[in-house]
Chains A and B, each alone.
Chain A
Amino acid sequence: MPTLIVTTLNGTDHPIDADVGRPIMEIIRDKGFEDMLALCGGSKSCATCHVYVDPDKLSLLPPMPQDEDELLDSSSHRQPNSRLSCQITFTAALDGLRVVIAPED
Chain B
Amino acid sequence: MVIRAFDVVIVGGGHGGAQAATLLRQQGFTGSVAIIGDEPDLPYERPPLSKEYLSGEKNFSRILLRPEAFWAERDITLLTGMLVTAIDPVAKTVTANDELIGYTHLVWAAGGRPRRLACAGHDLSGVLTVRTRADADAMKAALDRIDTVVVVGGGYIGLEAAAVLAKNGKKVVVLEALPRVLARVAGEPLSRFYEAEHRAHGVDIRLNARMDHILGRDGHVTGVQMADGEVIPCQLVIVGIGIIPSVEPVIAAGAAGSNGVDVDAFCRTSLPDIYAVGDCAAHESRHLDGQRIRLESVQNANDQAAVAVKAILGNPAPYTATPWFWSNQYDLRLQTMGLSTGYDDLVVRGDPASRSFSIVYFRQGRVTALDCVNLTRDYVQGRKLVEARATIDRVAIAKVGTALKDLYVVG
Contact = CB atoms under 8 A, between A and B. Distances in A.
Given A30-B67, A34-B70, A40-B298, A46 B324 contact: yes
Contacts of B376: 44, 66-67, 70-71
B63 A41 contact: yes
A43 B328 contact: yes
- Nearest 7 Cβ contacts at the A-B interface: A45-B326, A67-B376, A70-B376, A32-B70, A74-B380, A70-B377, A41-B45
B354 interface: no
B302 A39 contact: yes
Interface string A18-49: 00000000100111101001011101111000
A54 interface: no
Interface string B194-238: 000000000000000000000000000000000000000000000
Interface string B377-400: 101110100000000000000000
A92 to B, nearest CB: 21
A50 B355 CA distance: 27
Interface in A56-83: 66-67, 70-71, 73-74
B30 to A, nearest CB: 16
Contacts of B70: 32, 34
A45 B335 contact: yes
A45 B333 contact: yes
Nearest to B22: A34
B27 to A, nearest CB: 11
Q: Is the interface of A mostly helix, strand, loop or mixed?
A: loop
12 contacts: A32-B67, A32-B73, A34-B70, A37-B302, A39-B298, A41-B45, A41-B47, A43-B326, A45-B324, A70-B376, A70-B377, A73-B380
Contact of B380 (A26, A29, A39, A71): A71
Contacts of A31: 67
B116 interface: no
Contacts of A44: 333, 376
Given A44-B333, A71-B380, A74-B380, A34 B326 contact: no
A48 to B, nearest CB: 9
A39 B299 CA distance: 8
Nearest to A46: B324
Contacts of B64: 30
A31 B45 CA distance: 17
Nearest to B61: A30
A70 B356 CA distance: 14
Given A41-B47, A74-B380, 5 more contacts: A32-B66, A39-B298, A44-B333, A46-B324, A67-B376
Nearest to A48: B302
B383 A74 contact: yes
Interface residues of A, number: 20
A46 B336 CA distance: 11
Looking at chain B, what size class is its interface with the partner chain? 20 to 34
Contacts of A30: 61, 64, 67
A39 B383 CA distance: 18
Nearest to B405: A73
B48 interface: yes
Contacts of A74: 380, 383
Contacts of B377: 70
B315 interface: no
B387 to A, nearest CB: 12
A57 B26 CA distance: 31
A29 B324 contact: no
B62 A26 contact: yes
B327 to A, nearest CB: 9
B105 interface: no
B47 A29 contact: no
B186 to A, nearest CB: 16
A86 B260 CA distance: 34
A49 B239 CA distance: 33
B375 to A, nearest CB: 9
Interface string B49-80: 00000000000011110110110011000000
Contacts of B379: 70-71
B59 to A, nearest CB: 11
B56 to A, nearest CB: 16
B165 to A, nearest CB: 19
Most chain B CB inside 10 Å of its own CB: which residue of A30, A71, A73:
A30
A46 to B, nearest CB: 7
B289 to A, nearest CB: 26
B25 interface: yes
A51 to B, nearest CB: 18
A23 B346 CA distance: 38
A76 to B, nearest CB: 12
Nearest to B44: A41
Given A34-B22, A44-B333, A70 B302 contact: no
